[in-house]
Amino acid sequence: MRNGKIGVTTENIFPVIKKFLYSDHEIFLRELISNAVDATQKLRTLSAKGEMQGELGELKVRVEVDSEKRLLKIRDNGIGMTAEEVDRYINQIAFSGAEEFMAKYQDQAIIGHFGLGFYSSFMVSDKVEIYTQSYREEAPSVHWSCTGTPEFEMEELEEKLARGTEIVLHLSEDMKEYAESAAIEGLLKKYCRFLPVEIVFGKVKEWKDGKYQDTEKDNVINNIEPLWTRMPSEITEEQYKNFYSELYPMSDEPLFSIHLNIDYPFNLTVSSTSRRFATTSRFKRTRSSSTATRST
């Protein structure tokens, strides 16, 4: 094990992060999930280019909460990190692993920036841990921890972990609301409902013997194939109505549906099902390697 100091320009960075990084503390979950999705998409890219050997296996992001211990865990089976990469992307604040990856692999749907986004976790946590295993099988597994100061601990583990990264948040006493299942599920549905990797939060429940019980089926929060990613000829009117109902469950049925595709000056695909002209849209900028997905 070794100890060190995170590369920041001021030792007051953590109070700034905790209070002012984002106006809404709940954004931390969106940032961590985006990082997990990025890691998964990176692995798919490497596999498609023949730079990653072996089976991809299950590519899902799993979220777990322990209300009694005030723990929140986000786990992916993506690209993982070596000790050197943890040093580079975690111990140097605001250095973006996603940006570096994008420079090498153009036109890939990498969402975020594994830099300050990760450190948003300290807005709600007294301590954050990382357990990670690189897709490079020869690399040892790594454990990193920090208690919200510039001091961190990092060690290579004797035990080999499964490929990917697990973030463990030890939530602060005044942020224990994020240790409640209902709160986390609400935030996942708010921020993650159309991400391209399945987000799993517990198991689907069914009513049995007078109470709700877990089944064996994963509770997948998001829709990885929203209507705007499909051709209009593949979509029925009933599917448009169901999609609108998913977005606006308390509304009446829509009066009509419009599906548009515009090529210039940028590609725009819109699925619109509305009484008030509500739209869901996917934008692809012609001179950028990123793709943004937006719902309105």
123: buried, middle or exposed (CB in 10 Å: 19+, 13-18, 0-12)?
buried
Tell me if 190 sits within 8 A of 203, measured CB to CB.
Answer: no
Which pLDDT does position 277 carry in this prediction?
A: 44
- Tokens 């973006």, located at residue: 96
Tell me if 169 sits within 8 A of 125, measured CB to CB.
Answer: yes
Low-confidence ranges of the chain (pLDDT < 50): 10, 95-98, 101, 105, 109-114, 274-296
pTM: 0.76
> What pLDDT, in 10s, does the model give residues 113-138?
445 688 889 999 999 999 999 999 99
Which pLDDT does position 134 carry in this prediction?
A: 97
> What pLDDT, in 10s, does the model give residues 8-67?
554 556 776 676 666 788 999 999 999 999 999 999 999 999 999 889 998 999 999 999
Q: Which of 217, 203, 191 is nearest to 36 (CA)?
A: 191
Which pLDDT does position 109 carry in this prediction?
A: 47
Q: Which of 32, 25, 3, 28 is nearest to 149 (CA)?
A: 3
Which pLDDT does position 296 carry in this prediction?
A: 33
Which pLDDT does position 208 carry in this prediction?
A: 87
| Identity of residue 239 | Q
- What is the distance between the alpha carbons of residues 4 and 40, in angstroms, rounded to a whole number? 29
Domains and CATH numbers, the chain: 2-205 (3.30.565.10), 227-295 (3.30.230.80)
- What is the distance between the alpha carbons of residues 75 and 223, in angstroms, rounded to a whole number? 19
Take residue 192 and report the two structure tokens written for it: 């993650």
Report the 10 Å Cβ neighbour count for 214: 12
